[in-house]
Structure formats: structure tokens, C-alpha cells
Amino acid sequence: MGQPKTILKVVIPLLLGVGLVWYSLSKISLSTLVQYFKDADYAWILFGVFLGVLSHISRAYRWLYMAEPLGFKPKLPNSIMAVYSAYLINFTIPRAGEVARGTILANYEGIPFDKGFGTIVAERIADTLMLLAVVLIAFFLEFEFIYQFFAAKFNGFVLIVGAVGLLLCALLLLIWLRKSHSKFALKVKGFFLGLLEGALSIFKMKKKWAFIGHTLFIWIMYVLMFYVTTNALPELEHISLTPVLIGFILASFSIAATNGGIGSFPEAVVIAFSLFGIAEDPSRAFGWIMWSTQTLVIILLGGLSLLYLPIYNRKDRT
């Protein structure tokens, strides 16, 4: 049973990605998309790439704070190369990058796999909390827009009933989770307890403020990377913060849907930007430019990392 399930986890995202690529390219002619790539201002694109690289280096440095309590002092170059290798491997098998990163750190830094992988999971918990924070910030900053958007779709009575219904459902779900012993309920409880435990463990770290500072820096770079790249297209250079935040959130979720966001990333951008009346062609072109440039950097630096890791560590031992 395990093998078919693993195959499905690999094949379904890949097929979904291929389908979304076909759908996306059916909505914009290849010549039009190529023209957008030709006309783009690559100074802004390179600036976005630079911010992305900074975020990845910060991620690698942040992990050193988690390894220290385990009694290890890993080298920063190994941590950076492990991060890029993990990103590259995630393009082939979704979420396999974390396992590969733990294996790399075990091979070249002597950190037991279970301990190294545990710190990587804790990192992911911190990142999940940051993504939720971005969602909440977008909600509170643009509450009026969100309210007006749904008010235009539904009347006030339906909105009130819907809000009350959601609160009741949430309350019933909490009661059920507390009392139920089913596998699903235990998984959900385990997930939220893990989030809570991971969040609290951060404050028990020796260098917790440095860790929190790097976490904030990483996510600020993510949002800025997305924002500055919009300036590459004249049609988007005056875009406001609202569509950028919504676009960033949907694009972030899209990366988990397919291998590295292939196909899903551009369409997530189109869905977000269309809410604000932004034309589909520049939105879709921006999505492809953003995704392809960041992906190219990961393929290049991830590939070089995998090649250079054994060379760097062989030199270090001699």
C-alpha cells in the first residue's frame, strides 16, 4: 500500500502541473508571452532574484541557531548548499527536499538524521506561522475591500448568516476534535499541537531573537521579491500593496499544489490580480516571469550545490 500511495503523491501533482501549464498557455499566445519576456525590465527582475537569494542565505544562517542546542556547529556553506539542494529536489518529488536536506547535513556535518530533520520541521512550523501572519495582515489591512467584494456577491443577510454559520462550524469542530479519537481528528490535533509546540520552542532557544529576526527578514524578502518584480512590466509598475499581498499569498499556496508551483503559480497570480481589475495577459506574463526566473536560479544554484558539496567537504577534510 505504501508504494502506490507514494507514486500517487508524485504523479498527481505532476499531472496537475502539466494540465495547468497547458491551460495557462491556452489563455495567452506564446508570441504574446515571449514579447512580454522581451519587453520586461530585467534590472527589476535581477533585483527580485537578489532578494530571493538573500532570503535563502538567511534561511541557511537561521538554521545554525537550531543546530547549536544539539551540540553541533555546522558550516554556513554546507547549510546554504543544503537549502538550495532541498529546493531543487522539491521540483522532482514534492516535500522530498526536507528529507534530502536532513540527509545532506547528516552526511557532511555528522548531525543524526532524526535530530537534523526535527529542526527542519520546526523551521517549517515557523514559516507556516509567518504565512498565516501575512494572511492576517492582508485581511486586516484590506478588511473593507474584502467585505465590499463579498457584499457585492451576496446580500447583507447572507453574509451575516454565513459568518454565524462559520463560527458555529468552527465551534462544533473544536468540540469534536477534543472528544474524538478517530485517526483524522488525532492528525488534526497533532498538527495544531505541533504548531503550538514549535512556536513555543522558539522562545526557549538561546538565541531566540536572532532566530525571530531572521524569520521576519526571510518573509519580508519574499514579499519584496514579489513586489519589486512587478515593476518589470509597465502594466504593473503602479500596482498597489493590496493585490501584491493577495497575489503573494495565493502564489505561496500554489507552490504546494504542484511540483515547485509549475503551472499553478501563474494562474494563482491571475486569480489574485483579476480581483482588482488587472488585465489577464500582463498578470499571467508576470506570473510566468516571476516563476521561471526564480526557478532558473534554484536549478542553477541547487545543481551547483549538489555538485560542489562533496568537493567542498573533501577539501575541508584534507
Q: Which 3 state secondary structure label does DSSP give 41?
A: coil
Q: Which 3 state secondary structure label does DSSP give 19?
A: helix
Lowest average pLDDT, out of 39-53, 181-195, 257-271, goes to 181-195
In the structure grid, which three cell numbers stand for residue 192, read together? 495544531
CB 28 within 8 Å of CB 287: no
DSSP state of 69: G
CA distance 173 to 123: 28
pLDDT band at 36; cut points 50, 70, 90 = very high
Q: What is the mean pLDDT of residues 257-263?
A: 82
* Residue 230 neighbours by CB distance under 10 Å: 25
DSSP states of 206-275: TTHHHHHHHHHHHHHHHHHHHHHHHTTSGGGTT--HHHHHHHHHHHHHHHHHTGGGTTHHHHHHHHHHHT
CA distance 294 to 61: 20
CB 289 within 8 Å of CB 24: no
* Residue 309 neighbours by CB distance under 10 Å: 19
Is 68 a residue whose pLDDT tops 90?
no
DSSP states of 278-307: --HHHHHHHHHHHHHHHHHHHHHHHHHHHH
CA distance 298 to 253: 18
Q: Helices 96-109 and 280-317: crossing angle, nearest 10°?
A: 20
Is 227 a residue whose pLDDT tops 50?
yes
Q: What is the mean pLDDT of residues 87-93?
A: 84
Question: What integer pLDDT is reported at residue 147 of this predicted model?
Answer: 64
Q: What is the mean pLDDT of residues 149-153?
A: 61
Q: What is the mean pLDDT of residues 233-237?
A: 90
Q: What is the mean pLDDT of residues 257-267?
A: 86
Lowest average pLDDT, out of 4-13, 26-35, 108-117, 206-215, goes to 4-13
CA-wise closest residue to 289 among 266, 258, 262: 266
- Residues of the chain above pLDDT 70, percent: 83
Question: What integer pLDDT is reported at residue 172 of this predicted model?
Answer: 77
Question: What integer pLDDT is reported at residue 1 of this predicted model?
Answer: 45
Q: Where are the alpha helices (DSSP H) in 110-207?
A: 113-141, 143-153, 156-179, 183-202
CA distance 79 to 305: 10
